Amino acid sequence: MEEKVEEVLDRPHPGIVVAESPRENLWHTVLAQLDDVARRLKLDPGIHAILRQPERELTVAVPVRMDDGRIEVFTGYRIQHSSARGPCKGGIRYHPEVNLDEVRGLAALMTWKCAVVGIPYGGAKGGVQCDPRQMSEDEICRMTRRYTAMIMPIIGSRRDIPAPDVNTNAQIMAWISDTVSMLERKTVIDIVTGKPISLGGSVGRREATGRGVAIVARELLKRRRRRLSDTTVAVQGYGNVGSVAATILQQMGCKIVAVSDISGGLYDPRGLDIPGINRHVAAHPQGLLEGYEAPGVEKFSNDDLLVSDVDVLIPAALEHQIHAGNAPYVQAEMIVEGANGPTTRQADEILQERRIIVVPDILANAGGVVVSYFEWVQDLQCFFWDEAEVNRNLERIMVRSFEEVWDFSQQQQVPLRLGATMLAVDRVARAIQARGIFP
């Protein structure tokens, strides 16, 4: 049974806090939010019904010869939620907990994300239920190639363009591109994004999500009339997204007082030496903060980081990190969601009641898909941009998108998450209306 917000707020500070369980069903959460948005937008019931169902769902069996000679059969998915605004776009995730409802929910969130930043894509997502940490590189390569062959009937540069997600990377995208190239007997690079630069990847893609998070945080501070030099920031997760966001925000003048990763957290109220931390992480065998020492820097836990006394909190690790157990104790005035789904539904209500501003993931971390779009455009034209051009165009799109979501949310007097989703659903609905219903 869900706890009431007041009951949660009344509870004493628990110190170490636990996430709600069982895990939210992402698809149910996405549908509940869509229903709310449809009501507020007075959406045509037919269009609402279209958006409540993914356009196409493919479940595939992926047999793989393992290194020890056994055959293991993995289950893979590719789900296209909507192609109303353009070819479907979305990552491929390798994880033991991948399941149909999670992939459906993630596909729909990609539809909203592409619409909210106004890039000409629909939404999709894929995944294979597997534990890549227990597999050799060769096994992952064979699994990727077979999965690619199985989903090939529905992907394509004008149909559906996959990208990396949890536990997939540029190498895996290269194998997907190569598999399609071999089967089609021609070089096909525009079928996936997030590829290595040597195979039609884009400069600036690796940093794009963190850069987008930093741009959105800066724009939010401007709207709140806050000086960057007076702003303290905590970043949870010091991987691709978190480390780049921290680095760029510090370059912009903010004071990064707390960072953390799976190995623990670092805190210095005078501001951490981010370039020094980056050098440490680059030299660490697993790329962790573990072992970093500097005068005045205290060690503290991830739970402490989320409730630390800062102006801006950037969760950039995993989903469901801010939950009903810790949301009442968050001290930050503003949260910018670098990770996908870092705030649970209950936590969102609590933060809203506490008037903490949350810039939602579909806007805050859209920099990655925006530069994926640039990669696709460059691949289609066989003409490649330099990093300054990539960053200039990313800046333009992120600033414009933030302004549109902010202004719309103010007009409608709704929180940014709801405003961003309303704006996105409205754009998708207009595209469906303009196309008409085939035949």
Question: What residues are annotated to the active site?
Answer: 125
Record the tokens describing residue 275, joined without a space.
């370039």
Which of residues 100 and 318 has its CB atom nearest to ligand NAD in the complex? 318
**Which residue number, 360 or 429, has a Cβ lying nearer to ligand NAD?**
360
End-to-end CA distance of the chain: 45
Tokens for 29, please give them: 């959460």
Which residue, 49 or 197, is less far from ligand NAD as judged by CB?
197
Closest CA to 228 of 245, 249, 258, 242: 249
Instruction: Pick the closer one to ligand NAD by CB: 80 or 321.
Output: 321
* Cβ-closest position to ligand NAD: 239
Query: CB of residue 236 vs ligand NAD: minimum separation in angstroms?
Result: 5
Residues 6+ apart with CB under 8 A from 99: 129
Task: Please state the closest distance from residue 184 (CB atom) to ligand NAD, in A.
Answer: 27
Q: Toward ligand NAD, which CB reaches closer, 274 or 317?
A: 317
Shortest approach of ligand NAD to residue 377 CB, angstroms? Answer: 18
**Beta-carbon contacts of residue 185 (< 8 Å; ≥ 6 apart):** none
Residue 423's SS3 state is helix
The torsion defined by the Cα of 430, 433, 438 and 439, in degrees rounded to 10, comes to -160
CB of 209 to ligand NAD, least distance (A): 4
Q: How far apart are CA 125 and CA 110, in angstroms?
A: 8
Shortest approach of ligand NAD to residue 260 CB, angstroms? 5
- Amino acid of residue 177: S
Question: Residue 219: which H helix or E strand, with range?
Answer: helix 205-223
What's the rounded Cα separation, in Å, for the pair 347 and 329?
11
Contact, 129 vs 74, CB < 8 A?
Answer: yes
Pairing relation of β-strands 71-82 and 160-164? Answer: unpaired
Cβ proximity of 87 and 56 under 8 Å: no
Residue among 397, 419, 436 at smallest CA distance from 112: 419
Minimum distance between the CB of residue 416 and ligand NAD, rounded to whole angstroms? 17
Query: Which residues here bind ligand NAD, judged by CB under 6 A?
Result: 166, 209, 236-242, 260-262, 302, 316-318, 338-340, 365, 368
348: phi then psi, degrees, rounded to nearest 5 = -60, -40
* Beta carbon nearer to ligand NAD, 78 or 211: 211
Look up residue 91 and give its two tokens: 């990552």
Q: Which two tokens stand for residue 335?
A: 């949260």
- Token digits for 115? 């619409």
By beta-carbon proximity to ligand NAD, the closer residue of 55 and 165 is 165
Shortest distance (Å) from residue 46 CB to ligand NAD: 32
